[in-house]
A and B are shown apart, each in its own frame.
Chain A
Amino acid sequence: MNGWTFFYLLVFPGLLFTAVLGLLVGWIDRKVSARVQYRVGPPLLQNFNDFFKLLGKETLIVKEGVRSMFVLAPLVAFGTTVLIATLIGMPLFEKWLSGFNLPIASGFDGDLIVIMYLLMIFSVMLILGGSATGNVYSSLGAGREIKLLIADELAFILVCLVPIIKSGYTLRLSAIVTAQASAGAFIGSVSGVIAFIIGILCLQAKMALPPFHIAEAETEIVEGPLMEYSGPLLGFWKLNQLMMYVFFPLLLIVLFCGGFNLQGWGILWAVLKYVGIVVVLVLIKNTNPRVRIDTALNFFWKYLTPLGLIAMILAVLGV
């Protein structure tokens, strides 16, 4: 634990980098959605304006319900997001950072199980924040979030198991990246492709994007858990959702696409990889209507989980 740890946590792969990139990528999301609908779409800095506007609005605290939980949930979720972003960013940018002679904390550099747990903490915070408001729609949304978590968690774990098996049973993200540097990206193999596609669909559910934005159905239960939030607290929830646009695609890049090689043309290739995954997510979001919660459970448990098992068996067989 030295000064550089705080630098990593607060500036580069962590808070500042993820927040700024998330707000910028949120623009890509809105612009691509607008182009799909033959619109012009918002200006580049729209999400910055939205966030700063929310910071200056009045914060309304609920009268009934658990006030401390109501206030703490978005802040803890924000802290969790920063931690996940750092844990995923460090192994990804390790080689690039060591080029500047920065000391890399060598003891703990990203472990998949920790990341899975932190992702679950984020969902739990959304559930707690939603049910702390004492609002019927919010608690409905929180209940749906629990069901969605049950639906997508197993498929997501199976997806994460494939690169673990293929890199010789290691849980460290940096070891997974180095294994791909020598053996080629895992997306090149049959099991890798299957797991990557399931991973994209699981991301759709984890990021609460359509067709799996069941918990926050705007037209049905008015944003669900976020309904009673206003001002800065809502701003933090929105920022969390945009930061997910950063670390989830980066996680897929670490697991399947062989990480980044930030030298020369590698920079362009890295940007293309990242933007490509984001655009795929946005296109799936724009072309699918919201599914019901039982349809989502069926989809994940009847189709994606068996498919994930097949991908895992193929990975064990070395295909």
Chain B
Amino acid sequence: MGWYQRRLAKSLWVFHVSGSPCNNCDIEILDLLTPRYDVERFGIKLVGSVRHADVLLVTGVFNKKVAPRIRRIYEQAPKPIFVVAVGTCVSGGCCFKESYNTVPVREEVIPIDMYIPGCPPKPEAMIEAVAKLIGVLNG
């Protein structure tokens, strides 16, 4: 891939979007960003505003209330943007997949580039997923 893609791969700024999660994945994401795992080695940084983001970490099963908000957050982000689904809820719907108030196909709300299953996934699994994303960007 091109020169710009390699720059992008070395400097992924993540923004945390919670789409009605049970908070477990969010706690694991915070774990991931602690000094113990030190993702700044890969240039990954947590940013507070979606305008600065390159990666959206989405957690939680999308219910009908929150789906338009997630769509709006996705539209507010500057492109190119990557969406990483953290946890079984976003990846497969978990035990809520037949619930009356959830969105049946989450990919219709926002395009998802990568799935990390697990309830909640370990920080190591998230690092592996991000490393794979970097690998894809590097070609």
Q: Which residues of A contact B (CB under 8 A)?
A: 30, 34, 37-43, 46, 49-50, 52-53, 56-60, 218-219, 222-223, 226-231, 234
Interface of B is mostly: loop
Whether the Cβ atoms of B79 and A49 lie closer than 8 Å is no
What residues of A have a CB within 8 angstroms of the CB of B80 in the complex?
Answer: 57-58
Whether the Cβ atoms of A223 and B49 lie closer than 8 Å is yes
Q: Which B-chain residue is minimally distant from A31 (CB atoms)?
A: B40
What residues of A have a CB within 8 angstroms of the CB of B7 in the complex?
Answer: 49, 52-53, 56
User: Mind listing 30 A-B residue pairs with CB under 8 Å?
Assistant: A34-B35, A34-B40, A37-B35, A40-B38, A42-B40, A42-B41, A46-B10, A49-B11, A50-B11, A50-B43, A52-B4, A53-B7, A53-B11, A57-B78, A57-B79, A57-B80, A58-B78, A58-B79, A58-B80, A60-B51, A222-B48, A223-B47, A223-B52, A227-B49, A227-B51, A228-B49, A229-B51, A230-B51, A230-B78, A231-B78
Q: Which A-chain residue is minimally distant from B51 (CB atoms)?
A: A230
Count: A-B pairs, CB below 8 Å? 75
Whether the Cβ atoms of A53 and B54 lie closer than 8 Å is yes
What residues of A have a CB within 8 angstroms of the CB of B4 in the complex?
Answer: 52-53, 56
Q: Most chain-A Cβ atoms within 10 A of its Cβ — which of B7, B47, B80?
A: B7
B8's partner among A41, A53, A59 (CB-CB below 8 A) is A53
Task: Write the nearest CB–CB distance from A154 to chain B, whole angstroms.
Answer: 31
In the complex, whether B76 has a CB less than 8 A from a CB of chain A is yes
The CA-CA distance from A18 to B7 in the complex, in Å, is 21
Given A58-B79, A59-B78, A231-B78: A222 touches B49 (CB 8 Å cut-off): yes
What residues of A have a CB within 8 angstroms of the CB of B43 in the complex?
Answer: 42-43, 46, 49-50
What residues of B have a CB within 8 angstroms of the CB of A56 in the complex?
Answer: 4, 7-8
The CA-CA distance from A68 to B11 in the complex, in Å, is 29
The CA-CA distance from A56 to B10 in the complex, in Å, is 14
Residue count of chain B within 8 Å CB distance of chain A? 20
What residues of A have a CB within 8 angstroms of the CB of B51 in the complex?
Answer: 60, 227-230, 234
The CA-CA distance from A278 to B66 in the complex, in Å, is 45
Task: Write the nearest CB–CB distance from B80 to chain A, whole angstroms.
Answer: 7
Given A49-B7, A57-B80: A218 touches B41 (CB 8 Å cut-off): no
The CA-CA distance from A180 to B40 in the complex, in Å, is 42
What residues of B have a CB within 8 angstroms of the CB of A37 in the complex?
Answer: 35
Q: Which A-chain residue is minimally distant from B38 (CB atoms)?
A: A39
What residues of B have a CB within 8 angstroms of the CB of A39 in the complex?
Answer: 35, 38, 40-41
Which residues of B11-45 are within 8 A (CB) of A?
Answer: 11, 35, 38, 40-41, 43
What residues of B have a CB within 8 angstroms of the CB of A59 in the complex?
Answer: 78
Known: A34-B35, A49-B7. 12 other contacts (CB 8 A): A37-B35, A39-B38, A39-B40, A56-B4, A58-B79, A60-B78, A223-B48, A223-B49, A223-B52, A229-B52, A230-B52, A230-B78
What residues of A have a CB within 8 angstroms of the CB of B49 in the complex?
Answer: 222-223, 226-228
Whether the Cβ atoms of B35 and A218 lie closer than 8 Å is no
Task: Write the nearest CB–CB distance from B12 to chain A, whole angstroms.
Answer: 9
The CA-CA distance from A228 to B40 in the complex, in Å, is 24
What residues of A have a CB within 8 angstroms of the CB of B76 in the complex?
Answer: 60
